[in-house]
Amino acid sequence: MQRIINFVLRYRNTFLYVFFAFIALVMTIRSHSYHQSKFFNSSRWVSGSIYGAGADVSSYFNLTKENKRLVEENQRLRKMLFNAQFDSIQPLDSTLAVYQVLDAKLIKNSFTSPRNYVTIDKGESDGVHQDMGVITTDGILGIVENVSNNFATVQSVLNTKSNINAKIKGTEYFGSLIWDAKNYRVVQLIDIPRLVPVVVGDTIVTGGMSSIFPENVPIGTIKKYDLNASQSFYNIDVELFSDMANIKNVYLIENRDKEEIEELESRTIE
């Protein structure tokens, strides 16, 4: 017994190190296979507030550029609106609209790590909840992952855990959008069958198979493509429309039918 105690006392620092490393590893590995850490993320009050204060200062530096981008988007939307063939009986009542849009500001951006999460300044009290889609003025950004009272973290498309339904614009061939962590401008579209005619420069948009994003939200253009190892599906490199390094204003999309769809799907699987 004496010897065991002596042994423990002699190597107490090693034991302490193993203990700390074990905690850190458990926290890391468990979240690798599952979700972002539930408790230790930047949507928490302290970190959210500090990022908010930082963003308050830094947002002044590119106000001009950001305004220009928003005006360009408005112009594009106006053009669409004026040229749209409106059905006179289409209801304009916003309570009947399936998709609801909220706005938010990015207070922390990240695009260099293999698992990028960004933080926005809207939370539960503003009506944000988990699994809402997030888009920028140009394309998609990601999906809401953790929500606190006033902040939320978003799993970016630049995340090796991200998997978003996408298709080639104008066709119904859909695949999964993933990221290989190599280049923050380029994501990968996989599982597009070989028989589909693929052309460099084609536009990739979100597919209608997910209840998170509406159909036809722009994602990017095809940069290059080749067949995968089994020679039956394409691996397509997609260059993103949104400049992930420079995002300020984002929109959150809520699908009001989502719960109904998910409930129906889970019942069907059972």
Partner 1 sequence: MSSTLIINILRFVLLVITQVLIFNNLNFLGFINPFVYVIFFYWYPIKTNRAIFMLSAFLLGLAIDIFSDTLALNALASVTIAYARPSIMRFCFGVNYDFQSFSFKNTTKVQRVTFLTLLVILHHLIFFSFEILSIAHILLILKKVLATGMVTLILCVLFSSLFSPKSE
235 lines the binding site for partner 1 (CB under 8 A):
no
SS3 162: coil
Strand partners, 218: 205
The contact mask relative to partner 1 for 168-187 (x = CB under 8 A, - = no) is -------------xx-x---
Q: Pick the binder of partner 1 from 66, 111, 161, 208 (CB under 8 A).
A: 111
Instruction: Give the C-alpha separation, 112 to 13, whole Å.
Output: 34
148 lines the binding site for partner 1 (CB under 8 A):
no
Q: Pick the binder of partner 1 from 6, 10, 32, 264 (CB under 8 A).
A: 32
Which residue, among 253, 258, 224, 257, has the nearest Cα to 238 in the 3D structure?
A: 224
Residue 161: CB minimum distance to partner 1, A: 12
Instruction: Give the C-alpha separation, 189 to 113, whole Å.
Output: 20
Contact 234, 226 (CB under 8 A): yes
Stretch that binds partner 1, among 10-18, 69-77, 249-257, 260-268 (CB under 8 A): 10-18
Instruction: Give the C-alpha separation, 265 to 261, whole Å.
Output: 6
Instruction: Give the C-alpha separation, 256 to 97, whole Å.
Output: 8
When the beta carbons of 13 and 83 are compared against partner 1, the nearer one is 13
The contact mask relative to partner 1 for 66-85 (x = CB under 8 A, - = no) is --------------------
C-alpha dihedral sign at 20, 25, 26, 31: positive
Residue 247: CB minimum distance to partner 1, A: 12
63 lines the binding site for partner 1 (CB under 8 A):
no
Q: Pick the binder of partner 1 from 8, 11, 23, 74 (CB under 8 A).
A: 23
Rounded to 10 deg, the angle between the 12-33 and 2-10 helix axes is 70
Contact 187, 225 (CB under 8 A): no
When the beta carbons of 25 and 209 are compared against partner 1, the nearer one is 25
Contact 162, 58 (CB under 8 A): no
- The binding site for partner 1 (CB under 8 A) comprises 12-14, 16-17, 20-21, 23-25, 27-28, 31-32, 36-37, 40-42, 44, 46-47, 50-51, 54, 108-117, 119, 153, 181-182, 184, 245
